[in-house]
Amino acid sequence: MTDITIDAGVKTPRHGKGRLWRGAVLPVALLAAWAVVPRLLPTPHPLLVPLDEVLAAPFIDESGREIWASLAQTLLRYAGGFALGASAGLALGLLVGASALADRLVSPSFNAVRQIALFAWIPLLTAWFGNGEASKIVFIALSAFFPVALNTHDGLRTIAKGYMEVAAVLKLSPRRRVLKLLLPGALPSILIGLQIGLITAWLGTVGGEYMIGIGRGLGIFIAEARGQFRMDLVLLGVIFLALIGFLANLGFRRLSEPLIQWQGTKP
């Protein structure tokens, strides 16, 4: 009799496959133009490498085959940094969203720190942690931390006060209050924060690799290809960047749909 569960509302319809196919029209058209136009030029242009050469590079080119190991390292780094940052952001968001005292103590500092441009952290992180793996992981974690923490806090603030009053009357334990009231009530906002964090963490992963430039990773692969003026490898890296970012976002949307069906709202 003491359970409180926030109703997730009515189920919203899924997007049809037609929308996905319509969204693919422009990319496919651009790829088709990319495949044809360079072959029509009277002389090859070093900045406009034919699409078939770019796509063949990771299989037939010695330098191009390096992208597979670089991609694997980047994905591991991305997953670890996102998990760390999202967990910390969720914990802080729950703390300041559930406690008025914590909100007053922490929110001013949090709001000040989050105004710092993301890439402005790199000199400080490299000074603290060096140019190795630790700096990259912490930078990725920061990329995910802020949107998750902010959206979790905002989601908790939208829970009706009546629910909080009922939880107080029933004397729910802190654990049951979090599991039965706070998390279900803030879930739409939390999922939005996680989706944004997933995107910013991916940008932070490749950007951090590119800026720090030590070790192995997709960002480092692109930086080295640029230094060698291998535009086919640069373009190959850009294709992988777009593809992985798209698949990560699409996969999160598909996985999060069963968790909640909020009236008119989806992450």
Question: pLDDT tens digit string along 157-189?
Answer: 877 566 666 666 666 666 777 777 777 777 888
How many domains is the chain built from? 1
pTM value is 0.81
Of 3 and 242, more confident? 242
Q: Are 90 and 152 in contact (CB under 8 A)?
A: yes
Asked if the structure places residue 10 within a domain, the reply is no
- Whether 141 is covered by a domain: the verdict is yes
Does residue 8 fall inside a structural domain? no
Confirm whether 146 is domain-assigned. Answer: yes
Q: Is the pLDDT of residue 196 over 80?
A: yes
> What value does the mean pLDDT take over residues 97-119?
84
Examine residue 101 and state whether it is found in any structural domain, yes or no.
yes
Comparing 109-113, 126-130, 181-185, which segment has the lowest mean pLDDT?
Answer: 181-185
Report residue 46 CA to chain centroid gap: 33
Which of 152, 133, 139 lies closest to 87, judged by CA? 152
Q: Is residue 81 part of a domain?
A: yes
Range of the domain at 149: 49-259
- Output the domain CATH number for residue 223: 1.10.3720.10
Query: Given pLDDT bands bounded at 50, 70 and 90, which one contains residue 265?
Result: very low
Residue of 209, 201, 212 lying closest to 84 (CA atoms): 201
* Residue 90 included in any domain: yes
Residue 66: CB atoms within 10 A of its CB come to 18
The reply to whether 193 falls in a domain is yes
